[in-house]
Structure 1
Amino acid sequence: MATTSASRGQETRQRLLDAAVALVPELGWGGVTTRLVAERAGVAPGVVHYHFASVTDLLVAAGTGFSGALLDQLAKELTARPTVGEGVDWLLGELSRYSGADPASLLVMEMFLASTRLPELRERLGEQIAGFRSCVASWLAERGYQGDAAVAAAALAAALDGVMLHRALDPDLDPAALAGPLRAMFGTTREGTTTEGTTSERTQP
């Protein structure tokens, strides 16, 4: 019986998190209320406060749950690429799936803006981004990148964020068109070899 009750509680909590993730892109971070979350999740308003101390706590949990899963998946997929050039091409291809005005992009942008006012959100987002950069830096080093891998990983992460911001303003911006300059930043060609002509990043047969 206790297990069943705990399972129901977890299901309800997840519905609240999912409702918050859906509402933030629609209404903005500050537009989400307890009543709206409860309505979207199909529960009584009091249930929200049973699971979360405040709407802000709910939004932080929902937002960082989404961003954490997204960054983890990106890192996993990226680090499976055998060369830096292929990794850059793959990342830009992934960005093409987002218009900058889609729900996922809007949620992340709302979170970045809210993090300037909420220390807890800023700290948790910062930890997630640091984890992503660390994975990218390790991958770059393993692929033979000769520069400061940590700095390069930070530059790549910032470039990806910038592309998405520009996509929101310029829907015609094609992320794939930026592959050449980004590959050049890492000293790689489309084929994965370094511009210095070494073979450290060639895909092995």
Structure 2
Amino acid sequence: MAHVSGERGQATRQRLLDAAVALVPEVGWGGVTTRLIAERAGVAPGVVHYHFPSVTDLLVTAGLGVTGALLDRLAEELSASPGIEESVDWLVGELSRYSGTDPASLLLTEMFLAATRLPQLRERLFEQLAAFRSRVAAWLVRRGHGGDDAYATAVMLAAAVDGVMLHRALDPDFDLAAIAGPLRALLGHGED
């Protein structure tokens, strides 16, 4: 019986996380309340605080789950790619999935803003970002980049991806194909 209860608790916790991820793009980080989360998850408001000490803790956990998975997938795909050309093609294709105003883009934008005010979010988001940068730098070194330059290039790549997502929200005619050449130049240093 305890096993069923534990599974039910995990399922409820996941519904709360999913509700938070869906609500942030709709109402903004600061607009998410216990009541909204409970309604979206189909639970009583007290259940939210049974699983999380605060709405902020729930939002941080939910958001970091999304960013962690996204950064891991980006790093894995880049690392698995045989060369810079293929990596850039894949990355430009991946970025085309995000308009800047889609739910995932809005969640990331809200998280970045919230991180300026919430030290625990800023620290944990930076840990994820630093791990992503290190993985990309290691991939670049395998592709012929120098050590220190590879990490700086990984920093620039991460900033470029973030910037593209922000710019697409403001410029619906943003030409992703036009950035492929500069990205190849950024990443291609040292590759034969």
TM-score by length of 1: 0.90
Is 1:170 aligned with 2:171? Answer: yes
Code of the residue aligned with 2:177 in structure 1: it is A
The answer to whether the Cα contact below 8 Å between 1:64 and 1:125 also exists between their aligned partners in 2 is yes
Matches within 5 A, 1:1-205: 1-146=1-146, 148-187=149-188, 200-201=191-192
Structure ID, larger Rg = 1
Higher helix share: 2
Distance 2:142 2:188 in 1: 15
Distance 1:98 1:133 in 2: 21
Code of the residue aligned with 1:177 in structure 2: it is A
Distance 1:55 1:113 in 2: 16
**Cα RMSD after superposing both structures:** 1.2
TM-score by length of 2: 0.96
- Specify whether residues 187 and 71 from structure 1 end up closer, same or farther in structure 2 by C-alpha distance, changes over 3 A only: closer
| SS in structure 1 at match of 2:90 | helix
The answer to whether the Cα contact below 8 Å between 2:84 and 2:188 also exists between their aligned partners in 1 is no
Distance 2:99 2:131 in 1: 25
Q: CA deviation at 1:176?
A: 2.1
142-151 or 65-74: bigger deviation: 142-151
The answer to whether the Cα contact below 8 Å between 1:15 and 1:41 also exists between their aligned partners in 2 is yes
The count of aligned residue pairs is 191
Code of the residue aligned with 1:167 in structure 2: it is R
Code of the residue aligned with 2:46 in structure 1: it is G
Moved over 4 A (4+): none
Q: Any unmatched runs of 5+ in structure 1?
A: 189-193, 195-199
Code of the residue aligned with 2:170 in structure 1: it is L
Identical positions, percent:
74
Distance 2:70 2:187 in 1: 24
